[in-house]
Amino acid sequence: MRFTLASRRFVTAAAVVGVVLVGCATDNGEAEDPLETPADEVTPPKEKTPPDAGKPPFDPEFEPDDPPNDDPTPPDGDQCIDKDDPGSAENVAKSLPDTDDCDNSYKTVNGVAKGAVDIDFYKLSATDKTGCLLDTDFEAQTAGTELCVFARCKNSTANAVKKCKQGVLQTSDIGMKGCCAAAPGRAVPDWDCSGFTDNDSADFFLRVRQINGDQCLPYQFRYRY
């Protein structure tokens, strides 16, 4: 086949264009894969949170235990204080100052009833003197308490109380007769000691207890002989 001059030039030009296209493709690099994600957009893997994250650091020092409280105070701070609690029976009764019928003044006694089971006993020695008149009185003054007065003549172990001037006749746990009254009220026994002279000297046992309640109840009573 013969090629004319014009045909040779066309072939040459086409070859040059092909080389140029190949060179441009080589200079621009290979085409990017449209499915490949750029490196700067790749999400890094999540880091695992340590199990102790958010907790305060471990402190090896411990606070010492509180010392034991041998005398705990109630939550409200209230205590039933009775520093001079009388005995709960006649043989351990608290002694009151001796008196006689020439002293006609009232004596006041204060105490605390620590609940329904707390019973307070007092002992009083009274002397009947010549020339003075008996004006005996025992008065319970605090509501919620009961006062009982038991009497026994000094010169005899026999019961001399037959009735009550005021109050209700009762017998104590050891067999003494006496009178009881709820406060406010009076418990006054009527007694007569035997003998050649009209001597009514006697020993009295006074019992105070709380009735119809179970609380810390300060009380008061008074007496004269």
Q: What percent of the chain lies above the pLDDT cut of 70? A: 64
- CATH number, residue 107: 2.60.120
Residue 133 lies in a domain: yes
Q: Which domain holds residue 106?
A: 90-224
Per-residue model confidence as pLDDT tens digits over 195-211: 767 789 999 999 999 99
Q: What percent of the chain lies above the pLDDT cut of 90? A: 50
Number of structural domains found in the chain: 1
Residue 196 lies in a domain: yes
- How is residue 65 written in tokens? 């235990």
Residue 42 lies in a domain: no
Is pLDDT of 74 > 80? no
Which residue type occupies 80? C
Residue 65 lies in a domain: no
Residue-wise DSSP of 133-161 = ----EEEE-STTEEEEEEEEETT-SS--E
Q: Average per-residue pLDDT in the chain?
A: 77
